[in-house]
Structure 1
Amino acid sequence: MYRYLCGFLLLILMSCGGETLPKPKAYLSLNYAKPSYQKINVERPYTFEVSNVAKVKSLPKNWLKIQYPELKASVDITYRPVNDNLKELLLEAEKLVFEHTVKADNISNTEDYINKEKKVYGKMYFIYGNAASQVQFHVTDSVQHFLKASLFFYSKPNFDSVLPAVDYVKKDMVKMMETLEWKNID
């Protein structure tokens, strides 16, 4: 019995010699298609380029829904003509962004966007946290046209899970903003 006990203790002492290393963290590997861009093929008082991955759905009142079926997301485009109400439109757009402060960890905006040649002036906002919309922008020519875009996912907001998709669509939204042109400018 004594020999078994000594052998068992010896076995325990010898087995505790090496260090235990934790497993390395696993990272999600998401592969998104490299986009190519073309102008929207819908008659509107504006035009811009969209990704070939997206589907453009026409809505009433010159609105659009840019759908990303693979990501279960859309960029909702709302258009309003400016009729001596630019200040109201800008305040409403900013109000819609800052309504997300309840769920957002942070809201930041990029530099003001200015393209004097195309008469496009605006701002883009990034909303960090579990808010309903993570990226929004608004643009205007300050005289006739006002356009707002908001990114939405068709799922309960979980910022950490959707962040790679947000970054992907955000690039497309920047492209929309940079390629936007107004029609019927006086």
Structure 2
Amino acid sequence: MIIGCKDDVLPKPASQLRLDYPVAKYASFSNHCPIEFEINEDAVIKEDKNCEFSIHYPKMKATIYLTYKTVNNDIDNLLRDAQNLTYKLHTLKADEIIELPFINKEKRVFGTFYDVTGNAATNSLFYATDSIKHFVTGSVYFYAKPNYDSILPAESYVKNDMQHLMETIKWK
């Protein structure tokens, strides 16, 4: 009989891809629309039409969509639409929807930021208004199948940019 002295073969543990993103640097954005805000200098912004914007993150395959509307005695409808967009479209796939109220009395910006966890189509949405004249909504979409664990690092980075954008809104 021959006995061999050999260690058992063990598979290598699964590795995780580490995604590092540069520290965000922000620049003020302003054009003919009655709204100003700060965006990440690495993002590419383009006005689509009538004060609708798309802010692209080419390396992450993500886009923030912003829509500005003038309030015409229809603030209740605008608020209802923004809240329905969040809950009707995301309740089935979302694990949790966290509402983060935002109030800046000095700049007259009031709104809510929604942090959606789970395999929803979008993981961050917000609306902001002065309740009288201005209303803006924003949402982020990734050009990938919704898999929350896989996009979490990029989602977190873009979510921080979107919160910064909301917090720096100024009405003209």
Tell me, yes or no, whether TM beats 0.5. Answer: yes
Deviates more, 1:115-124 or 1:149-158: 149-158
Tell me if structure 1 keeps the 8 A contact 2:93–2:119: yes
What is the rounded CA distance, in whole Å, between the counterparts of 1:24 and 1:156 in structure 2?
25
Determine the structure 1 residue equivalent to 2:162: 173
What is the rounded CA distance, in whole Å, between the counterparts of 1:24 and 1:102 in structure 2?
34
What is the rounded CA distance, in whole Å, between the counterparts of 1:147 and 1:92 in structure 2?
12
Quote how far apart the aligned CAs of 1:103 are: 1.5
**Partner of residue 55 from structure 2, selected from 66, 74, 82:** 66
Quote how far apart the aligned CAs of 1:20 are: 7.2
Determine the structure 2 residue equivalent to 1:37: 26
Which letter maps to 1:49? E
**Partner of residue 121 from structure 2, selected from 114, 132, 135:** 132
Q: CA-to-partner distance for each residue in 1:69-124, whole Å, 9 max, x for gaps?
A: 111110000111111111111110010001211221221112x1000000000110
Tell me if structure 1 keeps the 8 A contact 2:30–2:37: no
**Partner of residue 106 from structure 1, selected from 81, 90, 96:** 96
What is the rounded CA distance, in whole Å, between the counterparts of 1:160 and 1:86 in structure 2?
36
Number of residues paired by the alignment?
171
**Partner of residue 81 from structure 1, selected from 67, 70, 81:** 70
Determine the structure 2 residue equivalent to 1:121: 110
Q: Which runs of 5+ in 1 are unaligned?
A: 1-6
What is the rounded CA distance, in whole Å, between the counterparts of 2:161 and 2:12 in structure 1?
36
Determine the structure 2 residue equivalent to 1:4: none
Deviates more, 1:29-38 or 1:112-121: 29-38
What is the rounded CA distance, in whole Å, between the counterparts of 1:33 and 1:42 in structure 2?
27
Which letter maps to 1:27? Q
Deviates more, 1:37-46 or 1:21-30: 21-30
Q: Secondary structure of 2:124's match?
A: strand
Please state which structure has a larger fraction of its residues in helix: 1
What is the rounded CA distance, in whole Å, between the counterparts of 1:72 and 1:20 in structure 2?
40
Which letter maps to 1:106? E
Please state which structure has a larger fraction of its residues in strand: 2
